[in-house]
Amino acid sequence: MERILVIGANGQIGSELVEALAIQHGAANVVAADISPASLYGAQVYEVIDVLNAQRLADVVGQYQITQVYQLAALLSATGEQAPLKAWTLNMDGLLNILELARIRGAAGQPLKVFWPSSIAAFGPNTPAVNTPQYTVMDPSTIYGISKLAGERLCEYYFQKYGVDVRSIRYPGIISYKSPPGGGTTDYAIAIFHAALRGECYPCFLEEETTLPMIYMPDAIRATISLMDAPAAELSIRSSYNVAGVSFNPRELATAIKQNLPGFDIHYAPDSRQAIAATWPQSLDDAQARKDWGWQPEVGLQQMVQDMLKNIQVTPKELHKAA
């Protein structure tokens, strides 16, 4: 029986991951944790944890006899650029604390399986942008991307050197309606739906032809859990797997929204996030994920747009956070 800890449970991904894991493993076997007060999201237990506090982490993992940790706490690409040192400390030390704990517990015969997400931000301006290969030039130019690339190397290092069972996905931009996004460069693709449903013209912070890899939340959750459930022997990558969902640009997304809401309008007012997006891939080659653990995206652009428009709840608070 697995006992699961999700750190960053209050975030865009964590909240939905906790819900899915509680359904899969039972609410009593999932501990939701975050530095901020969180809801339970279907788990039975919530703990306040600062991932930078290694002792607190060890105590909670010991107390609940945790066998799997999902370490999602991070500063994302856009917010990271506002506070680079804070982003570096949180993103690197948070991961290192988990990997060290897994190393120590593994040596004591109490294995701890780890999930940690990397990002398309780990690529950079000299990476081939179309169908970006699994192994290629990686020269990230944001502090966030640099931390993700370093994190990938740490994951592989801890696997090779200490046998830590760590697994990772280079998430594309994640589109969802339940929780607001956390300050990334792909957040426009969520904020646009809120504006459309409020009957507002959306001021897009990326240029209209800026194509980026994205993924709908149900696909992202399924990918994450599939990777964690895959037999260790079938995994050939312990840095981080390319995983593709659907690629589109703001013009294509706006067109798909207009097909459902004909009055919707968009204008373009690129800001500093455009420069970040310009260094990222447009699409990903995820052949290795498909081969190793059977990855297959299910949700395309049209279906995603219809689902978002059907389910999104526009509250003033959500709109403020998504903007």
Ligand X SMILES: NC(=O)c1ccc[n+]([C@@H]2O[C@H](COP(=O)([O-])OP(=O)(O)OC[C@H]3O[C@@H](n4cnc5c(N)ncnc54)[C@H](O)[C@@H]3O)[C@@H](O)[C@H]2O)c1
Binding status of residue 139 toward ligand X by CB under 6 A: no
> Hey, is 190 helix, strand or coil?
helix
Give least dist CB 263 to ligand X, A: 28
Binding to ligand X in span 56-95, by CB under 6 A: 72-74, 76, 90
Q: Exposed (0-12), middle (13-18) or buried (19+): which is 291, by Cβ within 10 Å?
A: exposed
Site string for ligand X, 263-282 (x = CB under 6 A): --------------------
Q: Can you read off the two tokens belonging to residue 185?
A: 């460069």
Rounded to whole angstroms, what are the CA distances from 117 to 151, 236, 243? 9, 17, 11
Helices (H), the chain: 12-25, 54-63, 77-82, 84-88, 94-107, 143-162, 188-197, 217-229, 250-260, 272-277, 287-293, 301-311, 316-322
Q: How many residues bind ligand X (CB under 6 A)?
A: 28
Binding span for ligand X by CB under 6 A among 124-132, 167-175, 204-212, 258-266: 167-175
Q: Which of 19, 34, 219, 285 binds ligand X (CB under 6 A)?
A: 34
Determine which one of 41, 46, 70, 144 is catalytic: 144
> Hey, is 189 helix, strand or coil?
helix
Using CB positions, name the residue nearest to ligand X.
Answer: 11
Binding status of residue 7 toward ligand X by CB under 6 A: yes
69: left (phi over 0), alpha (psi -120 to 50) or beta: beta
Q: Which of 145, 184, 213, 297 binds ligand X (CB under 6 A)?
A: 184
Give least dist CB 208 to ligand X, A: 20
Binding status of residue 247 toward ligand X by CB under 6 A: no
Helices (H), 278-323: 287-293, 301-311, 316-322
Q: Annotated catalytic, 144? A: yes
| Count of other CB atoms within 10 angstroms of residue 74 | 27
Q: Which of 115, 159, 171, 295 binds ligand X (CB under 6 A)?
A: 171
- Determine the Cα–Cα distance for residues 277 and 159; give it in Å rounded to an integer: 31
Amino acid at 313: Q
Amino acid at 138: M
Q: Which of 36, 55, 65, 313 binds ligand X (CB under 6 A)?
A: 36
Smaller CB separation from ligand X, 102 or 231:
102
Q: Which of 174, 235, 244, 308 binds ligand X (CB under 6 A)?
A: 174
Binding to ligand X in span 98-127, by CB under 6 A: 117, 119
- Contact set with ligand X (CB under 6 A): 7-8, 10-14, 34-36, 49-52, 72-74, 76, 90, 117, 119, 171, 173-174, 181-182, 184, 186
Residues acting as catalytic residues: 144
